[in-house]
Structure 1
Amino acid sequence: MSEETQLIDLAVQGDRGAFTALVEMNQERLFASMIQVTGSPDEAEEVVQEAFIRAFLKLDTFQRNSQFFTWLYRIAFNSALTRKRRNRARVSLDHWRESNGLEVTDPADAVDEPMLRQERVNLVRAAIQILSEDHRAILVLREMQERSYEDIAEILQISIGTVRSRLSRARNQLKVTLEAMDNEEDATPGSDSPT
């Protein structure tokens, strides 16, 4: 019997120390995962705290046909989605880009390769945040967290076929969004377009 299994058994029986140990074993990994889902360390921290509270309250419902972390991740992921739905105020692309420092004020300053690479990473992150929740979730789980189709299906409680079709649609939507963002950047006054 693994240490985690023993801790789960003890926690189900009401041992708070065992649950605290489970939290310590999974907290960093869950936090890192939720940063990718929420896009914000502060939001991720709140989601993780909420997930651990819910896990503690529902620990007796944990069915051992999946890993504890997968169950915990599903709770946190659902919590993040619920919070996003509650705070549905969608931020405009321009505001998002400005708040994340994506506007290049002087094109001559953008020559530095690492800076260009970082700008591209930021652009992809911005594009992912614009996608629907379903598309964002699939992309984060598969591309950023490198989860298997089986894991994604279990976490999102959908079939593997649905995972594949949503992932395909999400990749296409991301491509379209990135192209639109690139075109918008090219049309910005002060860009290097010929006059």
Structure 2
Amino acid sequence: MNQLDTRLAKLARQGDRAAFAELVELYKEKIYHLAYRMLQNRHEAEEIVQETFLRVYTNLDRFDEEQKFSTWIYRIGTNLCIDRLRKRKVNYSLDAEMGEGEGNDWYSTLPSREETPDQQVLLSETRSQIRDSIETLPEKYKAVVILRYLQDLSLQEISEVLSMPVTTIKTRLHRGREFLRKKLEQVL
């Protein structure tokens, strides 16, 4: 994938619109899921996807081909989400983000392996509580936890995305897990 990404980025840099469209196809869902996990708002996540690809397009000349394209695009998307969260912080309300079906994300559309309705309800409530707990994570832990467990990035990739040492990522991941464990012990 890395070689394909780099080749497509080179072609897009030279003005090949089809190559850029292919990059969009490869990454739009991944960036959307990252943004939705961080922002908990479909509309804002869609805006982040558009803004990410706009930034990618306008900054293709800055892309270092020695670097993984996925790391570069995740860094752009993550930074845009963090900026959005900082702007939102001023008047943050737990109720404000829930609107027209916002509670329905791709987790809730997964088919259940549970056989009884009681087990399905319990599983759904547990997922909801985990999602809500992730939403309450302090900003510095939230991005690391989402990139690691929901986007399945390695510690090295997260380090590159967030421009932090791997040791800092490990520390924040550990503290984020501890925060979630304590939070979930209170509700489960």
TM-score by length of 1: 0.77
Partner of 1:31: 32
Q: Would the alpha carbon gap of residues 4 and 166 (structure 1) be closer, same or farther in structure 2, given more than 3 Å must change?
A: closer
Which residue in 2 is equivalent to 1:66? 67
Answer with 10-19 or 44-53: which moved more: 10-19
Shift of 1:2: 4.4
* Equivalent residue, structure 1, for 2:46: 45
Task: Please name the residue that 1:55 is paired with.
Answer: 56
| Conserved? CA contact 2:144–2:169, under 8 Å | yes
CA separation of 1:22 and 1:174: change in aligned 2, threshold 3 A: same
Q: Which 5+ residue runs of structure 1 have no aligned equivalent?
A: 102-110, 183-195
5+ unaligned residues in a row in structure 2: which ranges? 105-116
- The residue type equivalent to 2:165 in the other structure is S
Deviation (angstroms), 1:3: 4.2
Q: Displacement of 1:139 after TM fit?
A: 1.1
RMSD value, Cα: 2.5
Q: Percent identity?
A: 34
> Which residue matches 2:146?
140
State the distance in 1 between where 2:123 and 2:25 align: 35
Determine the structure 1 residue equivalent to 2:111. Answer: none
1:119-134 correspondence runs (5 A): 119-134=125-140
Deviation at 1:52, TM superposition (A): 0.2
Larger Rg: 1
Greater RCO structure (CA 8 Å; 6+ sep): 2
Q: Aligned in 2, Cα 1:179/1:91: closer, same or farther, shift over 3 Å? A: farther
Instruction: Find the aligned partners of 1:52 and 1:37 in 2 and give their Cα distance.
Output: 18
AA at the equivalent of 1:29? K
2:175: which partner in 1? Answer: 169
Q: 1:22 to 1:64 in 2, by over 3 A?
A: same
Q: Secondary structure at 1:42's aligned position in 2? A: helix
Inter-CA distance 166–14: structure 2 relative to 1 (3 Å threshold): same
Q: Does 1:179 align with 2:181?
A: no
Aligned length: 171
1:104 alignment partner in structure 2: none
Aligned to 1:151: 157
Partners in 2 of 1:181 and 1:2 — Cα distance?
45
